[in-house]
Amino acid sequence: MNQFLDNIPTLPVSDAVEYVMEILTDSLASLFDFVQKWGQNSMDSITDMLLAIPAIIFILIVAIIAFFASKKKFGLAIFSIVGLYFIYNQGLWDELMNTITLVLFASVIAIIIGIPLGILMSKSSIAEAILKPVLDFMQTMPGFVYLIPAVAFFGIGVVPGVFASVIFALPPTVRFTNLGIKQVPRELVEAADSYGSTGRQKLFKVELPLAKSTIMAGVNQTVLLSLSMVVIASMIGAPGLGREVLSALQRAQVGNGFVAGLSLVILAIIIDRLTQSFNKKQG
């Protein structure tokens, strides 16, 4: 049996993928170069703007947002103050701002792409049949693999890190948007139809408002997945707290690695609680 299998020629999958990548990088080189430069300049500008805000002011702004987002409870606000001050005290403030920029860009792009795709899936069975296996592929593929096309297209730096993060973090927003719209009670949709609502009116005035809570849950997952890619993205030159974790790993510096990792945990908790609070407030 093994001899029979050994006689079957090896499928040229690797060569085919490399051929496609070469075609894409050659034919779209100018586009990739433009995106790389525009993305780099935009993210540098946002990072510089964040760094221009005094740390104490930034911490107070986050604490105030956390206070009102959590319905005037002090727990999240106090945690934000203590956690962000800890990061500042450890000399990781610049890295924190770079990380926030990367997560912000990756999350916004993933949400802008993901919500329309989720709406399309909810409205078209053909689109759902095509996109479902693609989303399964995106979610099961190890995050490290996304670094390969990212580097091939955009080189080394923060832009390929954002590209890989978008691919990794996109599926939850698509799936939850699709799920949220499909869970809208059929009676309400039929009532909108009976009043002569157009498809656009029905979507924006009935389906999306009622699906908002579910969609926000997907957005929350997308943001956290973007943050989880920070360390992986640092392997291709993306700055931020992930680079500190990677550097500590390479040098076997347990203390530095723990501090940088704890800083990522603090940021993840703040982002998670804030997005959940906004979702509860809207729901």
Q: Note whether residue 11 is domain-resident.
A: no
pLDDT mean by block of 10 residues, the chain; 283 residues: 67 79 82 86 90 93 89 86 94 92 91 92 89 88 79 82 88 92 84 76 83 90 87 81 84 86 91 80 50
Q: Note whether residue 39 is domain-resident.
A: yes
Q: Note whether residue 17 is domain-resident.
A: no
Q: Note whether residue 239 is domain-resident.
A: yes
Taking the mean position of all CA atoms in its chain, how far away is CA 80?
Answer: 21
Supply the range of the domain harboring residue 141. 29-282
| 87 close to 96: Cβ distance less than 8 angstroms | yes
Cα–Cα distance measured from residue 56 to residue 241, given in angstroms and rounded to the nearest whole number: 20
Cα–Cα distance measured from residue 157 to residue 98, given in angstroms and rounded to the nearest whole number: 12
CATH number of the domain at 72, please. 1.10.3720.10
In angstroms and rounded to an integer, the radius of gyration of the C-alpha atoms of the chain is 22
Decide: helix, strand or coil at residue 10: coil
Question: Looking at the 3D structure of the chain, how many domains does it have?
Answer: 1
User: How does DSSP assign 138-168, residue by residue?
Assistant: HHHS-GGGGHHHHHHHH-SSHHHHHHHHHHH
Q: Note whether residue 8 is domain-resident.
A: no
| Distances in whole angstroms, Cα of residue 48 to Cα of each of 40, 98, 99, 227, 236 | 12, 9, 13, 20, 21
Q: Note whether residue 15 is domain-resident.
A: no
Q: Note whether residue 163 is domain-resident.
A: yes
pLDDT for position 24: 80
pLDDT for position 5: 60
Q: Note whether residue 24 is domain-resident.
A: no
pLDDT for position 283: 47
